[in-house]
Chains A and B, each alone.
Chain A
Amino acid sequence: MAAKKPRTKSAAAVKPASKKARTSGFETLAEREKAVRELIARTCLVMDDYDFNAYLDLCHADFRYIITTYSPELRKDITWLDHDKPGMKTLLDVLPLHASDHFLRLTMSRHLSVYTIDYSDNDTRAATVSGLQVFNTAKDGGVTELLGVAKLKDTVVLESGKALLLSREVRLDTRMLGETGSLIPF
């Protein structure tokens, strides 16, 4: 069989980008970056507003959420919370029914900084690492206290021009979470 005629340089340059665009739905790296960063930021903003349904709308159907930390006492990693999406929905649906300082006396705000974003070969997955600080502010008096610091290790799905959170690991540095712990996931 005769060898195929080589494509022109311009055609060769266009084809890989077009292949990526069909897979993730985003044309350029800048668009993917914007989508990933905005998604991670929105997950924090909606949780700050206690808009739990909006949070779940940002999550993929196969979403998994875990909170981990290292215990020097046990000398091993420990997992403090582990939910799939239905489990997360159950937790968030019943939260307003539980006695909690957060709904009466405190506001919670998450301060986020996205550090790194690494893409899979076909750009349909992004693995991110972000820094997170969580503060409580008393409604009465307005005093703000740091509740905890953590790294967010997220996996984002990029498909059909949409970004959804596939998994989140909240890797806590803080192991003493104020006087009452936190009913609300970070």
Chain B
Amino acid sequence: MDTRYDAYEGYGNEGRVLGWPGGGDTMHKFSDLFPTATFNLRPPTLRIDTMVPLGPDKTIIEFWGLGIKKDTPEERAERLRDHNAVWGPFGRNVPEDQIAVVGQMMALKTGRNSSYILHGREEHSAHDDICLRHFYGEWSKCMNHSAADPFNTQVAVAAE
């Protein structure tokens, strides 16, 4: 997924001037590496998320914020500020993602959806759930089962 923040309605001057090698300060690139890594490039920082499954209902998720090794102390401080403003524990974005994760955890543990549901969207933007559809698509190929019907129950239902 590739978007530009300055293409969003209402985008204002956030004062970000520090970019990333190969890109400007307003781009946003998002890519998955199946099955357990996500690369999220929002200059001036890169975030890599990794997942370590511990069991069928438990996963460690780690969020790694990366900068550039040759940063000056001032550039490093700016990357840290910007990273944490969006992806830190009090950031604008990561707490939202964690709400979704907690909702998924509740659904997996109890079989019931969270009472607060975030609906996915299909609009080729930062809010698109194309990444999830990509994951399920790759899973289906690897497992030779449809992610929509992992236990092949739909055939039996159709036969009935």
Determine the chain B residues whose CB is within 8 A of the CB of A104 once the complex forms: 116
In contact, A100 and B96 (Cβ under 8 angstroms): yes
Determine the chain A residues whose CB is within 8 A of the CB of B96 once the complex forms: 98-100, 183
Give the CA-CA distance A185 to B115 in the complex, in Å.
25
Annotate B72-100 by CB proximity to A: 1 below 8 A, 0 otherwise.
Answer: 00000000110011001111111110111
In contact, B88 and A183 (Cβ under 8 angstroms): no
> Is the CB of A61 closer than 8 A to any CB of chain B?
no
In contact, A99 and B12 (Cβ under 8 angstroms): no
> Is the CB of B160 closer than 8 A to any CB of chain A?
no
In contact, A67 and B95 (Cβ under 8 angstroms): no
Which of the listed residues B94, B96, B100, B115 has the most CB atoms from chain A within 10 Å of its own CB? B96
**Interface range for A:** 20 to 34
Total A-B Cβ pairs within 8 A? 67
Give the CA-CA distance A181 to B91 in the complex, in Å.
9
Give the CA-CA distance A87 to B14 in the complex, in Å.
8
> Is the CB of B107 closer than 8 A to any CB of chain A?
no
Residue from A83, A91, A182 in contact with B95 in the complex, judged by beta carbons closer than 8 Å: A182
Given A81-B84, A90-B14, A183 contacting B89 (CB threshold 8 A): no
In contact, A83 and B118 (Cβ under 8 angstroms): no
> Is the CB of A62 closer than 8 A to any CB of chain B?
no
In contact, A180 and B95 (Cβ under 8 angstroms): yes
Determine the chain A residues whose CB is within 8 A of the CB of B102 once the complex forms: 179-180
Give the CA-CA distance A79 to B80 in the complex, in Å.
8
Determine the chain B residues whose CB is within 8 A of the CB of A79 once the complex forms: 80-81, 84
Give the CA-CA distance A183 to B92 in the complex, in Å.
6
In contact, A82 and B84 (Cβ under 8 angstroms): yes
Chain B: minimal CB distance from A80 (Å): 5
In contact, B88 and A81 (Cβ under 8 angstroms): yes
Determine the chain A residues whose CB is within 8 A of the CB of B100 once the complex forms: 99
Q: Which residue of B lies closest to A90 (CB)?
A: B14
The chain B residues found within 8 Å of chain A, CB to CB, are 12, 14-15, 80-81, 84-85, 88-96, 98-100, 102, 115-116, 118
